[in-house]
Structure 1
């Protein structure tokens, strides 16, 4: 198959975190990113879209040398490190070693378990240290800052704690380590286990080391019980489990929101200025997360999300915005945090996202598709019914009204509006699913109403989204360009995967969008020029299209290649450079982790083959 030539590899120098060797911990309230040397480089509080009190991943404010946004445990003379998750958990273990035979083990987690009949997920992270070999000499450097690194904390201390006071909230470190050593960043010999509990300005109950050990045991048990309930495919189980846990960590159990990623401003490509804040709930991305977890029989996330989704749907008037804050915030005004230089110096650092102002018509299909299973699944504590259907009908009316009007599209182009085929496709999906739901609910008048509207949109997509000269569907009505969103047609049931139009569109996409083993979102230049990196979820969509077209062996080989691109802990970001296969973009990207689950479920051999 003819392909476009590869671009030269980018300059990847200038950052110790190039390649994103990061792990995440969290508890569905907040999260933290920890690098391979056990440095906490990113953690937003009091929630995932909040102030990054640890922000060194995006640079350190040179004006505040004692408040540089990180938390490290440094082993004197360290030469190497090892890092892994405890099986089937979100508990991260890092081992630092020197050449003299000394080693320290650092265990990081955010407490999460059932307590007093409800989920206990405090705004706290726990670090447990123990000497693993020899008598390691360590230095603890705890340097939070506030307002994206612009404000140093006021620091006070007690006999077993340190307070870091900010303008809106304060953090308290409780530890059995010598407080003076922590404050002065003094090197000391680690001879016995130490525990560090960093959280709200409250005193934990009981001695901190046994309390932290108990919290860890309960948290491990909670995650293992959660993963035990997953309906896993036969193959690639460890990859699927890690993807599922990662998706769960991108949810807010308080509100039901699902964020697109846990970071802001990790660039799509070096020096590209394609730096975006993804710590918000895109209705599009959330649908794909819900669909993937549902495929593993994890429906709790859908149940939580539906509460968020219904509040969102009620806010719609003439249109529905595509993205919201974790607490249903509608204003996500974009600004630059100029005091931070950006990831490996590749700024700017953006806070907020202009997409909240966009018109993106595919959102109506994403809402209805995310809710559709709730009308049919008898396992749910609360199945959706006629009242819920009436709410989602509002989305259908907007879909039918807008399917033929220009929008920014699913790729959120900032300065160009077209009638995007993928947006019309999702408007069709909204009406199609409403017809199916109406039939299931016995609403005899509403089923033909929505079926007719779906047929009208289908005819428009088939006539205006198809380019007879190019013999393929195209990115916009009457256009000539291609984009990877067209690969979703079989996914949402518009055409089967072996339909002649899908096969010819797949051929055209291979020719225009494939670079090496990876797929770009689109090939036409946008507001920032021509894209430089492949969008990982598009490669997963391509893989799925191959499988549906009967090219299963190719799909399996491509999946194995994608798995090899994960970082050392099995995580993926948003983008990949097709030649270096280096990770770029926000991290971890829910879209990409969804791709792992969907590919494994589609391509795995059946259990019946071995059991």
Structure 2
């Protein structure tokens, strides 16, 4: 059975990633991109669905950590016979996809066992595996359909559709195991020079993280969160995925299992804003180029999400080859939200690009034409109800958060013209901006004085905490203070925030869910902006205590079971952590 979600570490080459359990099993790996079919799928089933385990025979005590500024995982195994250190990473190596597991003897002598089961195409294909003989170290090759893999560095023998090998490492000895994915129609790749790859990979991460030496509260949590956001950004295309996994359950035993390995315009925009505020304009330029390619064409065809290279066709389907995480099915690939209308999305994009412009990223080529066309699309759809931030599968509504993001898109367009001399339909944008604000003031505020989830209801929604972040109102606006009081009364569960009251049925799914971590981080920011610093710090400390030993967060938290829930690592959780920490630092980089 797969491990607890918080027991997994991520290793990544900023194209895809692998999840490594605390006991040394790689249970999730989708080469060569995050959204590719799995080769190791035990995360959503068991060992029969593919995994690669490396650990001392008989086990031992494991202590793990990341090297300070990258995704190199270092695990120190202490056994009765000695101590070994296993270093695991996905190197930065041109077109190739590797996993390197280096074993180094620290003291005594330790016997290790490795077991590998290849299951290609989400465990639908049992590959042909044979011994691979060349001038290099012992190896096996696995091939099925378009996929091929080489595992080098240890002699392996077949056992029940797995391959098993043992070896002993004494003090001062080093053994490298190297797994390489490649297209099956290409020749076998040469054995890479491991030391060179290690140096190149460390240099790549260190060069990117130069600006992460941040002082202030929650320094380590912020640094790791920014690194997570970089790991989820494809280094070739610039597409920023929402998470590294699919179908990890938001509610254990429920059906809220979604595929997050795609580029949501919203999530990517919010990620971009966090990176910009921490001086990563190169990431902003790269993503803006991705955006130009992805949405090129008729603005009416803009989607709320795309594939990593800008693919548009992402139909949702259920797999029969993977039973689900600890029995929580179904396992889904693709995402039906791709066909939804979410009126807030263009607002997030325009706000992020406005942040980039104000940070010094100059308009290039057709970048402003793109933004102007997007705002034009907002104008065309300004009165249309939508599925909103939470991608409800119930009836569309006029969500207050969505209406505020429409306001934000128009507002940033107007300001771009006034403050940067850019061209656009100023009169129309100004008129609609003011009309949308007046509409929210009239229909999005309850008789009790708080903002509402959507027009015509008295319910609240955690997304309302975003309104001060985009400058729609001040954090201490009486309506916001009333909203916070109502959110605390209705949505707080065991110290953390729910997105909304699922019992209302607005989302069209008749199931409960767990607190959504980003919402609680938004509340930290709101507290910090309104002088409730003690409350902000207490909540921030509770949230940071939910990270695993490596600083990783999933999407939600099951307060009853005391465990992480949902896809992992989740960009939304980590970018919200960064915002909350910045607000507590009171460094003036957040807010309007």
TM over 0.5: yes
Native 8 Å contact 1:332 1:356 kept in 2: yes
Q: Distance in 2 between matches of 1:103 and 1:74?
A: 12
| CA deviation after TM superposition for structure 1 residue 238, in Å | 1.3
Q: Which residue of 1 aligns with 2:551?
A: 570
Show the 5 A alignment for 1:388-407: 388-407=367-386
> Is residue 486 of structure 2 the alignment partner of residue 508 of structure 1?
yes
Match for 2:251 among 249, 253, 269?
Answer: 269
Q: Distance in 2 between matches of 1:341 and 1:243?
A: 31
Alignment RMSD (CA, Å): 2.2
Show the 5 A alignment for 1:83-232: 83-98=64-79, 100-112=80-92, 120=94, 122-156=96-130, 157-159=132-134, 160=137, 161-175=139-153, 177-178=154-155, 184-191=163-170, 192-201=173-182, 211-230=193-212, 232=214
Q: Distance in 1 between matches of 2:394 and 2:429?
A: 33
Distance of aligned partners of 1:355 and 1:268 in 2 relative to their CA distance in 1, 3 Å threshold: same
Q: Which residue of 2 aligns with 1:3?
A: none
Native 8 Å contact 1:181 1:188 kept in 2: no
Q: Which residue of 2 aligns with 1:18?
A: 4
| CA deviation after TM superposition for structure 1 residue 194, in Å | 1.2
Match for 1:414 among 393, 399, 406?
Answer: 393
Q: Which residue of 1 aligns with 2:466?
A: 488
Q: Distance in 2 between matches of 1:187 and 1:253?
A: 36
Q: Which residue of 2 aligns with 1:376?
A: 358
Native 8 Å contact 1:22 1:33 kept in 2: yes
> Is residue 319 of structure 2 the alignment partner of residue 337 of structure 1?
yes
* CA-to-aligned-CA distance 1:476-527 (integer Å, 9 cap, x gap): 1122221111111001100010111111111111111111210000003333
Q: Distance in 2 between matches of 1:529 and 1:424?
A: 26
Native 8 Å contact 1:129 1:194 kept in 2: yes
Q: Distance in 2 between matches of 1:386 and 1:368?
A: 17
Structure 1 counterpart SS, 2:6: coil
* CA-to-aligned-CA distance 1:516-556 (integer Å, 9 cap, x gap): 21000000333332533100001111111111122122101
Distance of aligned partners of 1:455 and 1:312 in 2 relative to their CA distance in 1, 3 Å threshold: farther
Structure 1 counterpart SS, 2:295: helix
> Is residue 430 of structure 2 the alignment partner of residue 471 of structure 1?
no
Q: Distance in 2 between matches of 1:233 and 1:530?
A: 42
Q: Distance in 2 between matches of 1:605 and 1:415?
A: 39
Q: Distance in 2 between matches of 1:134 and 1:444?
A: 71
Deviates more, 1:164-173 or 1:274-283: 164-173
Native 8 Å contact 1:467 1:473 kept in 2: yes
Match for 1:456 among 435, 438, 443?
Answer: 435
Native 8 Å contact 2:5 2:568 kept in 1: no
Native 8 Å contact 1:399 1:427 kept in 2: yes
Number of aligned residues: 573
Show the 5 A alignment for 1:230-379: 230=212, 232-318=214-300, 320-378=302-360
Q: Distance in 2 between matches of 1:527 and 1:450?
A: 34
Native 8 Å contact 1:360 1:423 kept in 2: yes
| CA deviation after TM superposition for structure 1 residue 314, in Å | 2.5
Q: Which residue of 2 aligns with 1:527?
A: 508
Q: Distance in 1 between matches of 2:169 and 2:511?
A: 52
Q: Distance in 2 between matches of 1:153 and 1:443?
A: 57
| CA deviation after TM superposition for structure 1 residue 247, in Å | 0.8
| CA deviation after TM superposition for structure 1 residue 392, in Å | 1.1
| CA deviation after TM superposition for structure 1 residue 404, in Å | 2.7
Structure 2 counterpart SS, 1:491: coil
| CA deviation after TM superposition for structure 1 residue 291, in Å | 0.7
Q: Which residue of 1 aligns with 2:576?
A: 595
Q: Which residue of 2 aligns with 1:57?
A: 43
* CA-to-aligned-CA distance 1:303-352 (integer Å, 9 cap, x gap): 11111112233244435321111121111111111121211111111111
Q: Distance in 2 between matches of 1:561 and 1:151?
A: 43
Q: Distance in 1 between matches of 2:579 and 2:148?
A: 41
* CA-to-aligned-CA distance 1:413-453 (integer Å, 9 cap, x gap): 11321111111111111100011111233247744442222
Deviates more, 1:81-90 or 1:582-591: 81-90
Distance of aligned partners of 1:403 and 1:578 in 2 relative to their CA distance in 1, 3 Å threshold: farther
Q: Distance in 2 between matches of 1:184 and 1:260?
A: 34
Native 8 Å contact 1:400 1:457 kept in 2: no
Structure 2 counterpart SS, 1:226: helix
TM-score when scaled to structure 2? 0.92
Q: Which residue of 2 aligns with 1:497?
A: 475
Structure 2 counterpart SS, 1:170: strand
| CA deviation after TM superposition for structure 1 residue 405, in Å | 1.7
Distance of aligned partners of 1:310 and 1:184 in 2 relative to their CA distance in 1, 3 Å threshold: closer
TM-score when scaled to structure 1? 0.89
**Any unmatched runs of 5+ in structure 2?**
none
